[in-house]
Amino acid sequence: MQDKGTPPSGGGQQGGRSLVVDAVTHRYGTSVAVENINLDIRAGELVALLGPSGCGKTTLLRIVAGFIRQSEGRIVLGDEVVDDLPPNHRRIGIVFQNYALFPHMSVAENVAYGPAAQGVAKAEREAEALRMLELVKLGHLADRLPRQLSGGQQQRVALARALAIKPRILLLDEPFAALDKNLRLDMQIEIKRLQRLSGVTTVMVTHDQEEALSMADRVAVLSQGRLEQFASPTEIYDRPSTLFVNTFVGSANRLSGAVVDADATGAKIRLDAGAEIVARTPAGGLAAGARCLVCLRPEHLVLDDDASGFAAVVEMGLPLGPTVVHEVRGADGVGIKVSEPRLAGAALRPAGTPVRVRPAAPDLATAYPAP
């Protein structure tokens, strides 16, 4: 299912198309790397290609850049089909994972390299390089060599170089992979700021779910070369279309059960753990009597002492700052994680405590056909 999600809140010219990936398939011999991918990306959007290693996200990025010619389908930039254009004629800015800065050139010369290759006059390209460096807050380091910069500074130089050519779109290939955790968060905020300021349409490859959900206007989740869902971060997290999206993005408890009744949008399900719940059924294919798998995120469950929900026993409690996670086991023997806000002074439930587990609201469970 390919949900188009909601438009971004700022940056760029909203509503117009910037990049269309039209039925793109690519094969390496008999192996299919990406299969029938369709994306319609609006001007000014930041879109994340998210998935595990080998899902096809980097192959798709390289196809858009022109480094790989797809086996089938089209790449359209604006109103132009660019399949026959080499990378240097597509006017695409790219920030590689290792930044790929020229070690013998100064920071300013690195940034001016693209405009020079485009034939921009020396005075104009030097002025543009300094403008881009000021944008990324590195104007004072224009004369330094890349080796004299920190990892975060090198990344900002690479970003300035990519923006200096006034790209139609900007591609980011795992841009934070080489940074430590604290610097990674700082650079996520910085790149989001720069993307909004420049208004450039941006496509980012990442395997990091938090990175994708926090930065992107929309997220394309890929698995085994196929597009599982294309939607806003909120839709991806709260309304996952497939079992893969539900379990890959965030954490999810998986509970087995049988369908009691179903219609086009939802189903009443009797869990093996011993309770009936109502669940959404985005994948369809569920009829009365069918076996199914119900997914519930830990923060979408609560522990009660009353008769609602199903019976379980606490196995462990873990205080995690503002939240507390209890691991419980239901009557069917399946372990379940329940994450709740931690109240000041509240004690953990000791191991062996009987509890009742229920969804925090009636529309939080999602059911899929049993695999």
Residue range 201-247, pLDDT digits in tens:
999 999 999 999 999 999 999 999 999 999 999 999 999 999 999 99
In this predicted structure, what is the pLDDT of residue 347? 75
Is there a contact between 337 and 298 (Cβ–Cβ < 8 Å)? yes
In this predicted structure, what is the pLDDT of residue 12? 38
To 10 degrees, the CA torsion angle through 55, 58, 61, 66?
-120
Around 241, how many Cα atoms within 13 Å sit in the side-chain half-sphere? 19
* CA atoms of 125 and 144, how far apart (whole Å): 18
Among 203, 209, 241, 199, which residue's Cα sits nearest to residue 19?
203
pTM: 0.86
Percentage of residues of the chain with pLDDT beyond 90: 72
241-284 per-position pLDDT tens digit: 999 999 999 999 999 999 999 888 899 999 999 889 999 998 77
Around 318, how many Cα atoms within 13 Å sit in the side-chain half-sphere? 10
Give the three-state DSSP class for 52: coil
Strand 323-330 relative to strand 335-341: parallel, antiparallel, unpaired? antiparallel
Q: Indicate the DSSP class of residue 371.
A: -
Amino acid found at 304: D
Angle between helices 122-135 and 181-198 (to 10 degrees): 130
340-358 per-position pLDDT tens digit: 988 766 678 999 999 999 9
Strand 169-173 relative to strand 92-95: parallel, antiparallel, unpaired? parallel
User: Any idea which residue has 């049993």 for tokens?
Assistant: 370
What the block records as the tokens of 43 is: 């001007």
* CA atoms of 126 and 121, how far apart (whole Å): 9
Angle between helices 151-164 and 181-198 (to 10 degrees): 20
What the block records as the tokens of 307 is: 């008769």
Amino acid found at 163: L
Strand 17-28 relative to strand 80-81: parallel, antiparallel, unpaired? unpaired
Amino acid found at 333: G
Q: Tell me the Ramachandran region of residue 100: left when phi exceeds 0, alpha when psi lies from -120 to 50, beta otherwise.
A: left
